[in-house]
């Protein structure tokens, strides 16, 4: 049985197959409308979510399956002190596959070790968010036509932003990838990513503080929200929260074919006047999230559609 804890759980070939399946689902949704009839997805969310949980649920419903679950720790037996290991053993009796989000790094991994059904990490603390990465890769491949030969600017909260951590892990496997890491000093990528992932694999990267200094070089600008819930004190968050605001003026510095991505939710880091720019890809990205999660559910449940 296969689980998904990190984007690296899939080889480049498996990933390629999954993205191709997602593109086929986008083109021929009817073909897949009954593929998971009689199957159930459990969404176990111990942390808030809009897109990830609802796109998982939409994905299963689009496949003809059913969904059950909870959307906060308060509404589950976690509030009574139940461990994730016990919860997943029970959920394994009720559902065929589970998507789990948890504020503690590693909690979905612990669950997967006790689970009788495939477990998907839907975000664990400030660690990883592999299905957002699948969404991001599908968006990049669909809109740019490739996953190699790209200069990617990652901007904002690179310290706590799990989407950034997972995306870096996934993209370094493709040739000629270069990162420009745009963050204030306090929100730089964790040193384990800088040293053990980027430097160790000889991936070129630059760290800059000003967005304006990077704009002209980018194929992709990946904006992120300052992760308020991971700060130890509110004053630090308030000082950091509006550090970057992408607006029309800054967009004028970028290439015509650059795309702007954001895992969403956005707070202030992209001004709404950028939404109508043809290079703004973040709402399309949310749509790709449904196709790729459909492809992932089919893959983990080993359902094939001819
Ligand atoms: C992201 C997350 O939960 O890490 N959201 C999402 O899943 N689309 C990004 C964020 O919350 O900032």
For residue 37, the number of C-alpha atoms closer than 13 Å in the C-beta half-sphere is 6
- Establish whether residue 133 lines the binding site of ligand 1, counting it when its CB lies within 6 angstroms of any ligand atom: no
Decide: 225 in ligand 1 pocket, CB within 6 A: yes
From ligand 1's centre to the CA of 185, what distance in Å?
22
| Cα 306 to ligand 1 centroid, rounded to whole Å | 34
Angle between helices 51-62 and 130-144 (to 10 degrees): 70
Task: Say if ligand 1 is within 6 A of residue 6 CB.
Answer: no
Q: What is the pLDDT of residues 32-69, one digit of tens each?
A: 999 999 999 999 999 999 999 999 999 999 999 999 99
pLDDT at 284: 98
**Catalytic-role residue among 53, 102, 129, 225:** 129
Predicted confidence band of residue 297 (pLDDT cuts 50, 70, 90): very high
Angle between helices 282-300 and 130-144 in degrees, nearest 10: 120
24 CA to centre of ligand 1 in angstroms: 26
CA of 38 to the centre of ligand 1 (A): 30
User: Does the beta carbon of 166 lie inside 6 Å of ligand 1?
Assistant: no
Active-site residue among 3, 39, 53, 101?
Answer: 101
CA 261, CA 263: separation in Å to the nearest integer?
7
Q: 289 CB less than 6 Å from ligand 1? A: no
Q: Is 255 a catalytic residue?
A: no
CB atoms within 10 A of CB 185: 7
Rounded Cα–Cα distance for residues 118 and 111 (Å): 10
Interatomic CA distance for residues 121 and 117, integer angstroms: 13
Q: Model confidence over 236-289: pLDDT tens digits? A: 999 999 999 999 999 999 999 999 999 999 999 999 999 999 999 999 999 999
Please say whether the beta carbons of 136 and 116 come within 8 A: no
In the annotation, is 50 catalytic?
Answer: no
What pTM does this model have? 0.97
| 101 is annotated as an active-site residue | yes
For residue 113, report the distance from its CA to the centre of ligand 1, in Å: 25
Asked whether 228 lines ligand 1 (CB < 6 A), one says no
- The predicted-structure confidence for 76-113, as pLDDT tens digits, reads as follows 888 888 999 999 999 999 999 999 999 999 999 999 99
Tokens of 246: 């992408």
Q: What percent of the chain has pLDDT over 90?
A: 95
Residue closest by Cα to atom 7 of ligand 1: 52
**Nearest CA among 222, 302, 295 for reference residue 264:** 222
For CA atoms 272, 222, 41, 18, give the dihedral sign: positive
Which of 52, 103, 159 has the most ligand 1 atoms within 8 A of CB, as the residue to mutate? 52
Please tell me the predicted confidence (pLDDT) of residue 75: 83
């Amino acid at each position: 049985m296969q689980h998904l804890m990190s984007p690296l759980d899939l080889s480049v070939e498996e990933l390629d197959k999954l993205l191709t399946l997602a593109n086929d689902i986008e083109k021929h949704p009817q073909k897949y409308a009954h593929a998971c009839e009689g199957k159930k997805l459990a969404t176990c969310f111990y942390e808030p979510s809009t897109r990830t949980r609802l796109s998982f649920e939409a994905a299963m419903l689009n496949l003809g399956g059913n969904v059950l679950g909870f959307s906060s720790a308060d509404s589950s037996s976690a509030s009574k002190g139940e461990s994730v290991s016990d919860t997943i053993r029970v959920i394994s009796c009720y559902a065929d596959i589970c998507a789990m989000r948890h504020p503690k790094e590693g909690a979905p991994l612990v669950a997967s070790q006790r689970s009788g059904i495939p477990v998907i990490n839907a975000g664990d603390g400030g660690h990883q968010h592999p299905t957002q990465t699948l969404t991001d890769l599908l968006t990049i491949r669909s809109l740019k036509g490739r996953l190699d030969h790209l200069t990617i600017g990652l901007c904002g909260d690179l310290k706590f932003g799990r989407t950034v951590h997972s995306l870096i892990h996934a993209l370094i496997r493709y040739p000629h990838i270069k990162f420009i890491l745009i963050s204030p000093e306090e929100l730089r990528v964790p040193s384990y990513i800088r040293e053990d992932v980027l430097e160790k694999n000889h991936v070129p990267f630059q760290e800059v503080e000003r967005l304006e200094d990077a704009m002209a070089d980018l194929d992709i600008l990946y904006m992120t929200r300052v992760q308020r819930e991971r700060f130890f004190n509110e004053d630090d968050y308030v000082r950091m929260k509006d550090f970057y605001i992408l607006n029309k003026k800054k967009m004028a510095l970028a290439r015509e074919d650059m795309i702007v991505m954001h895992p969403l939710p956005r707070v202030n880091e992209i001004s709404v006047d950028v939404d109508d720019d043809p290079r703004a890809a973040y709402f399309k990205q949310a749509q790709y999230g449904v196709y790729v999660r459909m492809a992932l559910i089919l893959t983990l449940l080993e359902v094939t559609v001819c």
